[in-house]
A and B are shown apart, each in its own frame.
Chain A
Amino acid sequence: MLSVRNLTKVYEGGVVALRDVSFDVPDGQFLAIIGLSGSGKSTLLRCINRLIEPTSGQVLWNDIDVTAAPQDELRQIRRRIGMVFQHFNLVHRSSVLTNVLAGRLGYVSPAWSLLNRFPREDIDKAMKELDRVGIADKARMRADELSGGQQQRVGVARAMMQDPDLILADEPVASLDPVLAHSIMQYLEKINQEDHVSVLCSLHFLDLVHRYADRAIALNEGRVVFDGLPQEIDDARFKEIYGKEAERVG
């Protein structure tokens, strides 16, 4: 269970990205986070694993206070939280396999991993995860030789290498065409349903929210303006979330 309490983030320079955000995520839920660009979705996701330090408030995960954890403990927490990014964030010049194996860095011995040595089981696991997303044959290629959709599958495989209990997906399909978007979302759905991994996923398109999410949270200027079932977002709610001039496209 993930519990976000009164989370506030003020950037240097005074920009308020999150204002007093609170919500709970039960284990195994697929939660969509929606809102305009700049509404604080990315900041919220990054505050959960402290890639961005929150200014105040708490993140509790299985009753551990993430916001108060010292560095060593924070790494133990991070290795159970997989993350998928809008721009995939692969290391371009490394091979696909190395990119996937990087998901194990929180588990393996730091000294050996610096020499690029991973245990046999990890390599097997990496091949299995690549097989699961359908690109096992690309393992030895350089990451930047892959197409966008393939790169995001590598990103999903990397997150799965962490044996995560939670996946944070920051607009995972915003850089992909609709067909690829559905295929990536289906992988996330499968992970959510088969492996019982909670998923927090920020999304732009409401049809994706309706199709995949159990629940949706909407942010507007850093505030939670909606928290409920995706089906409850009707036209009135839509205007509340996206502003009066907004029109639905999907």
Chain B
Amino acid sequence: MKPSTGNPWRRLARSIGLVAALLLALVIYAYGFEVTQVDLEETRSETRQTQLVRILRAIAQPEIIEFPQSQQSIDAPFFMPCPPTPWQLHEPNPRQPYLLVTPNCTEPGGRAEVRGFNFEPGSRGNVFLIPPSQVTLRLSEMSVDREGNFSVNVQLPERSSDQVQTIRAIVQQNTGTPRFTRTAHDTWDKIIETVFLALLATTLSTIIAVPLSFLAARNLMKGIRSSLLAISVSLLAIPVGVVLGNAVARFAGLWGPRLATSMPMNVAGVVVAPFVVWAAARWALPAVEPSRPPLAVRLARPAALAAAAVVGIFGIVFLAKLLLEAGTRMAASMGDLAFLGHFIFNLGEILEIGLGLGTALAGAGIASSLSGRLVRTLTPRLPAGALRLVEILAAAAAGALLLVGIGATVEWLYRIGNPVATLYVPAAVGALIGLAMGVRFGGRDTLPVGLVIYAIARTVFNGLRSIEALIMVIVFAVWVGIGPFAGVLALSLHSVAALAKLYSEQVESILPGPLEAITATGATRMQTIVYAVVPQIIPPYISFTMYRWDINVRMSTIIGFAGGGGIGFLLQQNINLLNYRAASAQMLAIAIVVAAMDYISSALRERVV
């Protein structure tokens, strides 16, 4: 930019602008001080300073190691006020510990000197007054000198009585070898829980985030265009696929256990199923096809693949059953290693639960992509007029389906109970929108469907990412109970969004050259991703996953504050109980683990990348 020396008015305007900007900054910071209640008076208050010192000293002594302690307690009689007749103490044994109080009686609220002899040298303790009511009033701290003596001047409370009162000195002293405190043991247990919580959350979220990240990468998605007809038919096929997939899973869930009635049968099923699937896939998906095969073969292939899929699902049912069975037996017989059995049992359960969901999702995916492909194959062969009509009708149906889905969600959330508002009107509006789009955007490959998916994925990730795991855990704690499992789920959900965003930015920054080269060979989109994109993103993906593990360890230390298990639960408890020495032990553990994780992950990253 050229300096505007030539025009004095502009220079003046700039100066005024600068002054205005400075004034504005002043106002902004002044308001900031006001709303954040900056109060320096508080920092100088004496009571607050003593409290601060007390807490800092407690934090400086984390409750990790303790000694077994022996205790010495010596009494001396005392009168307050002085009795009418003066009294004399027995001569103390000069070899035993004893107390000497001078004077041996005072008016209430008077002062006296308490001296102790023959105590354990170097020990510390307190001097108490015990009135006839037997309450214990602490008078002073003291420490015993090298000769075993101490002397303190104490102010007595206003506790008058005509009976004898007691001055008592109690000293504690460390004996024997040091040992870990109960707090140290608890902290150790919880910090281990914390590290594994972070590990599970990171693993789970990585598995989910990797495929999702491709949907949120602009460079991969922007080229995907499709005709309105293909999009509409794909949309309509999704519920069909869900129902079909679910039905197959139920069928397998019902018949699988009846087929595999014994353990050997079960094992045989698990072993045979993969071979059947492999053989069917090998036959139905030839490596290279020199010429177009006859129609019968072309029809038999999808049938073989469908059959293979069913066999595969049966195989998973068998495997789940086997895992459940084996897990139960291992847990019963392996003693200390029972957790391995529990793990295998859990894997079986995950398979069982995941099967229904997985097949429904896979069914939706397959149905939608197959119908889309069918449309693309048929499009050039059908008369244009009929095609336009089908396109408009399909668009109307798809629009209606979409809005009915949204309406059903609204109904489920808010329980409006009015089918006109949540069913009929959305269906009609959706159909109208579809109709309008059908008329407006007809023809082939016109709609940038890839960019739409990209925008939706980005929005969802950003929304999820903006909700901290600390808040998500509240919902999960309601669902699965307070504890580390809720923490794992909350951290996972948050990490999926965060990782998918980071990953997708890596995909966006790959070199475009290889992508172009692989596309030019006639590769499909999936092949392009596997051969041109994946090799380029492996190092950054690994490094981001490790970084996320690091973050998750830090997050999991506080996720217990909201019921997510881990060390945060213990830390919060101790802070609330004002048990600062225990809290300090936990803070120290967190610091050590985070520092160690940081070191380990950077060392690993250097080696892998």
Mutual binders A and B? yes
Instruction: Determine if A93 and B536 form an interchain contact, defined as CB atoms under 8 angstroms apart.
Output: yes
Q: Which of A58-102 contact B (CB under 8 A)?
A: 70-72, 75-83, 85, 87-94, 98, 102
Note all chain B residues with C-beta closer than 8 A to A75: 522-524
Interface check B6, CB cutoff 8 A: no
Interface check B32, CB cutoff 8 A: no
Complexed CA–CA distance, A242 and B445 (Å):
39
Instruction: Determine if A114 and B527 form an interchain contact, defined as CB atoms under 8 angstroms apart.
Output: yes
Interface check A250, CB cutoff 8 A: no
Instruction: Determine if A94 and B531 form an interchain contact, defined as CB atoms under 8 angstroms apart.
Output: yes
Instruction: Determine if B535 and A105 form an interchain contact, defined as CB atoms under 8 angstroms apart.
Output: no
Task: Please name the residue on chain A nearest to B444 by beta carbon.
Answer: A70
Instruction: Determine if A112 and B536 form an interchain contact, defined as CB atoms under 8 angstroms apart.
Output: no
Q: How far is the CB of A133 from chain B (nearest CB, A)?
A: 16
Instruction: Determine if B513 and A87 form an interchain contact, defined as CB atoms under 8 angstroms apart.
Output: yes
Residue of B286, B377, B517, B522 touching A106 (CB-CB under 8 A): B522
Task: Please name the residue on chain B nearest to A84 by beta carbon.
Answer: B517
Task: Please name the residue on chain B nearest to A52 by beta carbon.
Answer: B516
Interface check A162, CB cutoff 8 A: yes
Instruction: Determine if B530 and A76 form an interchain contact, defined as CB atoms under 8 angstroms apart.
Output: no
Residue of A83, A107, A114 touching B288 (CB-CB under 8 A): A107
Interface check B538, CB cutoff 8 A: yes
Residue of A87, A106, A117, A122 touching B523 (CB-CB under 8 A): A106
Instruction: Determine if B285 and A79 form an interchain contact, defined as CB atoms under 8 angstroms apart.
Output: no
Residue of A77, A102, A121 touching B531 (CB-CB under 8 A): A102
Interface check A222, CB cutoff 8 A: no
Interface check A6, CB cutoff 8 A: no
Interface check A236, CB cutoff 8 A: no
Complexed CA–CA distance, A109 and B518 (Å):
15
Note all chain B residues with C-beta closer than 8 A to A82: 520-521
Q: Which of A29-60 contact B (CB under 8 A)?
A: 49, 51
Complexed CA–CA distance, A82 and B519 (Å):
11
Q: How far is the CB of B95 from chain A (nearest CB, A)?
A: 84
| A81, A82, A109, A162: residue with the most chain B Cβ atoms closer than 10 Å | A109
Instruction: Determine if B287 and A89 form an interchain contact, defined as CB atoms under 8 angstroms apart.
Output: no
Instruction: Determine if A89 and B286 form an interchain contact, defined as CB atoms under 8 angstroms apart.
Output: no
Note all chain A residues with C-beta closer than 8 A to B531: 91, 94, 98, 102, 105
Note all chain B residues with C-beta closer than 8 A to A104: 521
Note all chain A residues with C-beta closer than 8 A to B517: 83, 85, 89-90, 102, 155, 158
Q: Which of B499-522 contact A (CB under 8 A)?
A: 511, 513-514, 516-522
Note all chain B residues with C-beta closer than 8 A to A88: 513
Note all chain B residues with C-beta closer than 8 A to A106: 521-523
Instruction: Determine if A71 and B376 form an interchain contact, defined as CB atoms under 8 angstroms apart.
Output: yes
| B376, B379, B522: residue with the most chain A Cβ atoms closer than 10 Å | B522
Instruction: Determine if A49 and B520 form an interchain contact, defined as CB atoms under 8 angstroms apart.
Output: yes
Note all chain B residues with C-beta closer than 8 A to A162: 521-522
Task: Please name the residue on chain A nearest to B282 by beta carbon.
Answer: A112
Complexed CA–CA distance, A87 and B514 (Å):
10
Instruction: Determine if A93 and B376 form an interchain contact, defined as CB atoms under 8 angstroms apart.
Output: no
Complexed CA–CA distance, A51 and B521 (Å):
11
| A51, A80, A102: residue with the most chain B Cβ atoms closer than 10 Å | A102
Complexed CA–CA distance, A231 and B87 (Å):
137
Whether A113 touches B520, Cβ cut-off 8 Å, given contacts A70-B376, A71-B376, is no
Task: Please name the residue on chain A nearest to B289 by beta carbon.
Answer: A109
Q: How far is the CB of B541 from chain A (nearest CB, A)?
A: 12
Note all chain B residues with C-beta closer than 8 A to A70: 376, 379-380, 444-445
Beta-carbon contacts of A147-169 to B below 8 Å, as 1s and 0s? 00000000100100110000010
Note all chain B residues with C-beta closer than 8 A to A92: 511, 514, 535-536
Instruction: Determine if A109 and B514 form an interchain contact, defined as CB atoms under 8 angstroms apart.
Output: no
Q: How far is the CB of A165 from chain B (nearest CB, A)?
A: 13
Interface check A111, CB cutoff 8 A: yes
Note all chain A residues with C-beta closer than 8 A to B289: 109
Q: How far is the CB of B60 from chain A (nearest CB, A)?
A: 50
Instruction: Determine if A93 and B523 form an interchain contact, defined as CB atoms under 8 angstroms apart.
Output: no
Interface check A108, CB cutoff 8 A: yes
Note all chain B residues with C-beta closer than 8 A to A112: 285, 287
Beta-carbon contacts of A120-164 to B below 8 Å, as 1s and 0s? 011000000000000000000000000000000001001001100
Instruction: Determine if A51 and B520 form an interchain contact, defined as CB atoms under 8 angstroms apart.
Output: yes
Instruction: Determine if B516 and A89 form an interchain contact, defined as CB atoms under 8 angstroms apart.
Output: yes
Note all chain B residues with C-beta closer than 8 A to A117: 287
Note all chain B residues with C-beta closer than 8 A to A158: 517, 521
Complexed CA–CA distance, A81 and B522 (Å):
9
Beta-carbon contacts of B371-391 to A below 8 Å, as 1s and 0s? 000001101100000000000
Note all chain B residues with C-beta closer than 8 A to A78: 519-522
Task: Please name the residue on chain A nearest to B518 by beta carbon.
Answer: A102
Task: Please name the residue on chain A nearest to B379 by beta carbon.
Answer: A70
Interface check A119, CB cutoff 8 A: yes
Instruction: Determine if A93 and B521 form an interchain contact, defined as CB atoms under 8 angstroms apart.
Output: no
Interface check A110, CB cutoff 8 A: yes
Task: Please name the residue on chain A nearest to B519 by beta carbon.
Answer: A51
Complexed CA–CA distance, A104 and B444 (Å):
29
Instruction: Determine if B524 and A111 form an interchain contact, defined as CB atoms under 8 angstroms apart.
Output: no
Interface check B526, CB cutoff 8 A: yes
Residue of A49, A114, A118 touching B530 (CB-CB under 8 A): A114
Task: Please name the residue on chain B nearest to A83 by beta carbon.
Answer: B520
Note all chain B residues with C-beta closer than 8 A to A172: none
Whether A108 touches B522, Cβ cut-off 8 Å, given contacts A83-B517, A91-B514, A91-B532, is no
Note all chain A residues with C-beta closer than 8 A to B532: 91
Whether A110 touches B526, Cβ cut-off 8 Å, given contacts A78-B521, A103-B521, A162-B521, is yes
Whether A85 touches B522, Cβ cut-off 8 Å, given contacts A91-B535, A91-B536, A105-B531, is no
Interchain Cβ contacts under 8 Å between A and B, 30 examples: A51-B516, A70-B380, A72-B376, A72-B377, A75-B522, A78-B519, A78-B520, A79-B521, A79-B522, A83-B520, A83-B521, A85-B513, A87-B513, A89-B513, A89-B516, A90-B514, A98-B531, A102-B521, A102-B531, A105-B522, A105-B523, A106-B522, A107-B522, A108-B287, A109-B289, A112-B285, A155-B517, A158-B517, A161-B521, A162-B522
Query: Other CB < 8 Å A-B pairs besides A106-B522, A111-B285, 4 of them?
Result: A49-B520, A70-B376, A83-B521, A107-B288
Which are the 4 A-B pairs with shortest beta-carbon distances? A106-B522, A79-B522, A89-B513, A89-B517
Which chain B residues have a beta carbon within 8 Å of chain A's beta carbons? 281, 285-289, 376-377, 379-380, 444-445, 511, 513-514, 516-524, 526-527, 530-532, 535-536, 538-539
